[in-house]
Amino acid sequence: MVRYLAPLIIFIVLAFFLYVGLGLNPREVPSPFINKPAPDFQLQKLHSMNELFSNKDMLGKVWLLNVWASWCVACRQEHPVLVDMARRGEVPLYGLNYKDAPSNAKRWLNEHGDPYELSAVDYQGKVGIDYGVYGVPETFIIDKQGMIRHKVIGPISYQELNDCVMPVVNELNKREQIDPAALAVLSEVRKACSS
Amino acid sequence: MFVMMRYIAVLVLLGLMIGGATVAAGEAAPMAADPELEKKVNEIAAELRCLVCQNQTIADSHAELAIDLKNQVREMVRQGKTRDDVVDYMVQRYGDFVRYRPPVKPTTYLLWVGPFLLLAGGLIILTVNLRKRKDLVSESPLSEEEHKKLESILHSENKTSGIKAGEGN
């Protein structure tokens, strides 16, 4: 009996691993940035090139940093969601224009609408490397102390926005200080995120 | 004579191929002024995974990010950073996944030990099976009585027709 059942059992185990493996998203690499300080940068503003924008300007606020580019196809998919989010005005959205010609970037925003408070120009992609960017678009949620609390890789869907991004933002907005108890709540909230 | 000519032709072809290869290698050599530096950069780049095309190292990949990262490695090596410095820098930004050789730590124990566990399991199954097979072979030789019985069976088989003997098999 065992002799005949053994191949079947082995098959079922292998099929189970295959099934689980197919469900994983290889693009989603665990980010080493969660609960780490956002790397410092100082970059030109896309719409007024003689002014600089730094992540430090945002201390005291919960904000989103969205990495985008005019050449990025998936950004188009995400864009209406960002425009809607900006219209609701619940959380300030800043852009990091990654490896893009400023003229192209401006034209793209004119065409599709500009949801950003401002976009910072990372023409050489150096800040992108500091933020571990490997698949545009990426979105970082940064808290009042300037710590990265979540990172979305790839385009944000409405579902992702409502089930993941906004709950994390709301949780962060509620608190002045992120203590271990808050971290536990946050990691609980983030469970809705991996879609 | 004909064989000789063929031999020469093959030699000439080989010579052309080798000559061509060296010419090609000369063209493919990196344009950097410092081959020593370039060698070190390539060594380090070969240990780092390109996150855009995940089964390539950044040394192999032509993705834009890989080229940027390779430039970053080159810059750091030029500044006198060691291999470990560069790898740490990348791990800080892209996580352990960027390393082609994963570190040994609790989350990767299974990864490192797994193959040996599988090997051990295979060896256990093998020895168990070999033991079983050994038991199948009888240790004691046939007794006198059994010999006679066997003899008579063989004789009676011989007397029956070939077809029947065939069926007996």
**CB nearest to A30's CB, from B52, B54, B95:** B95
Would the pTM count as exceeding 0.95? no
* Longest Cα–Cα distance in chain B: 95
**CB nearest to A31's CB, from B64, B65, B95:** B95
Note the pLDDT of residue B27: 40
Note the pLDDT of residue B34: 80
Q: How many CB atoms lie within 10 A of CB A105?
A: 22
CA distance B120 to A83: 58
Spatial contact of A120 and A94, defined as CB atoms under 8 Å apart: yes
Note the pLDDT of residue A192: 76
Partner B contacted by A113 (CB < 8 A): no
For residues B67-95, give the mean pLDDT: 89
- Chain B contact probe: residue of A35, A36, A130, A134 with most B CBs at under 10 A: A134
CA dihedral A164, A166, A169, A175 (to 10 degrees): -100
* HSE toward the beta carbon, residue B142, CA cutoff 13 A: 8
**CB nearest to A129's CB, from B72, B91, B95:** B72
With beta carbons under 8 A apart, name residues in chain B contacting A125. Answer: 65, 68
Report residue A51 as tokens.
């002014």
For residues A108-131, give the mean pLDDT: 94
Within 8 A by CB and 6+ apart from A181, the residues are none
* Secondary structure letter of residue B82 according to DSSP: -
Partner B contacted by A132 (CB < 8 A): yes
Is the pLDDT at A69 greater than 80? The verdict is yes
Partner B contacted by A28 (CB < 8 A): no
- Say yes or no for a CB contact (<8 Å) between A29 and B97: yes
Note the pLDDT of residue B8: 60
Note the pLDDT of residue B50: 84
Q: How confident is the model at residue B15 (pLDDT cuts 50, 70, 90)?
A: low
Note the pLDDT of residue A52: 94
With beta carbons under 8 A apart, name residues in chain A contacting B68. Answer: 125, 129
Report residue B115 as tokens.
């193959």
Count contacts between A and B (CB, < 8 Å). Answer: 32
Comparing CA positions, the residue from A183, A147, A146, A187 lying closest to residue A36 is A147
Note the pLDDT of residue B5: 58
ipTM of the predicted structure? 0.74
CA distance A67 to A122: 10
Spatial contact of A153 and A33, defined as CB atoms under 8 Å apart: no
Partner B contacted by A32 (CB < 8 A): yes
Q: Which residue has the higher pLDDT, A194 or B62?
A: B62
Within 8 A by CB and 6+ apart from A41, the residues are A54, A55, A120, A122, A127, A130
Partner B contacted by A34 (CB < 8 A): no
Count of all residues that appear for chain B in the document: 169
Q: Which residue has the higher pLDDT, B52 or A195?
A: B52
Report residue A113 as tokens.
């609408």
* HSE toward the beta carbon, residue B70, CA cutoff 13 A: 24
Place of tokens 């693009």: A27
With beta carbons under 8 A apart, name residues in chain A contacting B108. Answer: none
Q: What percent of chain A has pLDDT over 70?
A: 96
Report residue A106 as tokens.
């401006």
DSSP A55-101: GGGGTTS-EEEEEE-TT-HHHHHHHHHHHHHHHHTSS-EEEEEES--
CA dihedral B136, B142, B147, B151 (to 10 degrees): 20
Q: A153-160: long-range contacts (C-beta < 8 A, 24 or more apart)? A: A153/A27, A153/A28, A153/A29, A153/A31, A154/A27, A154/A74, A155/A74, A155/A75, A155/A77, A155/A78, A155/A81, A156/A78, A156/A81, A156/A82, A157/A78, A157/A81, A157/A195, A158/A81, A158/A84, A159/A195, A160/A193, A160/A195
For residues B14-41, give the mean pLDDT: 59
With beta carbons under 8 A apart, name residues in chain A contacting B51. Answer: 29, 134-135
CA distance A51 to A46: 9
Q: How confident is the model at residue B144 (pLDDT cuts 50, 70, 90)?
A: confident
Is the pLDDT at A156 greater than 90? The verdict is yes
Q: What is the pLDDT of residues A3-55, one digit of tens each?
A: 788 899 999 999 999 998 887 776 666 678 888 999 999 999 999 999 999 99
- Say yes or no for a CB contact (<8 Å) between A29 and B68: no
Is the pLDDT at B40 greater than 50? The verdict is yes
CA distance B44 to B86: 8
Note the pLDDT of residue A135: 82
Note the pLDDT of residue A188: 84
